[in-house]
Amino acid sequence: MAGPGLFLLLSLGILGFSHADTLISMDSSFCHGELKVIYPELDIDRCLTIPENLRKKISTVWHVPQIYFSGANVDKDYILMMFDPDAPSHSQPTRACWRHWLVVDIKGINLKEGRLAGTTLTDYSSPAPPRNSGLHRYQFMLFEQPPHSTVSLSEEEEASLGNWDPNFFAARFNLGNPVAALQFLTQNYMDE
């Protein structure tokens, strides 16, 4: 028997809501905190879908965004992760989660000023979904880093960006819950 959640999702589709709206509403609780991801023509401070006219720029033109977290404690260090849980597609995420960026040892004062100075474990990789793979969620999670901890990737994690488990990574280093999280949806800029 279908529960009320399934009925709501089916109703949304019938009433003309897009797949993007459904994904955003399903993940609306994911976005919390005061995290901001700033690209040259786009400030992201809530869950959203990248406008069609900016998809090419976010994939091929813009590089590392600025990261702001006004709620940062200047006496703490932080960890930022960015990943795609929909690789290679939302309907068949066989390579999820694809790690796009991982930075540790970020000073709180730097986050307050929009400078992401820290130790990069995975270089930033622009969101560039494959053609005809539909919408992808790009998720950013910010954690407080435990004091005096050394955070690193295992050899297996370093060998592949795909099939990464951010929850296992967070548990391995006792990160707890993220202090802030944000996501946006986009698709290949050549898709309609």
Would residue 18 count as lying in a domain? no
> What is the DSSP code string of 21-83?
HHHHHHTTTT-BSSEEEEETTEEE-S-EE--GGGHHIIIII--SPEEEETT--TT-EEEEEEE
Would residue 95 count as lying in a domain? yes
Residue 100: per-residue pLDDT: 97
Give the torsion sign (CA, 140, 144, 146, 149): positive
pLDDT digits (tens, 9 = 90+) for 76-87: 999 999 999 999
pLDDT digits (tens, 9 = 90+) for 58-75: 999 999 999 999 999 999
pLDDT digits (tens, 9 = 90+) for 144-178: 999 999 999 999 999 999 999 999 999 999 999 99
- Looking at the predicted structure, is the pLDDT value of residue 3 above 90? no
Would residue 13 count as lying in a domain? no
Cα angle 85, 50, 38 (rounded to 5 degrees) comes to 90
Average pLDDT (115-128) is: 95
Residue 82: per-residue pLDDT: 98
Would residue 8 count as lying in a domain? no
Residue 26: per-residue pLDDT: 53
Average pLDDT (86-104) is: 94
Residue 23: per-residue pLDDT: 54
Would residue 192 count as lying in a domain? no
Would residue 181 count as lying in a domain? yes
| pTM to 2 decimal places | 0.86
Per-residue CA distances from 189 to 50, 97, 103, 141, 168 (Å): 10, 21, 27, 25, 32
We report the CATH number of the domain holding residue 165 as: 3.90.280.10
Domain residues for the domain of 147 are 26-186
Would residue 39 count as lying in a domain? yes
Mean pLDDT, the chain, as a whole number?
Answer: 87
Would residue 127 count as lying in a domain? yes
Nearest residue to 61 (alpha-carbon basis) of 134, 114, 116, 127: 127
Average pLDDT (91-120) is: 94
CA distance 110 to 142: 13
Domain count for the chain: 1
Contacts of 172 (CB under 8 A, 6+ apart): none
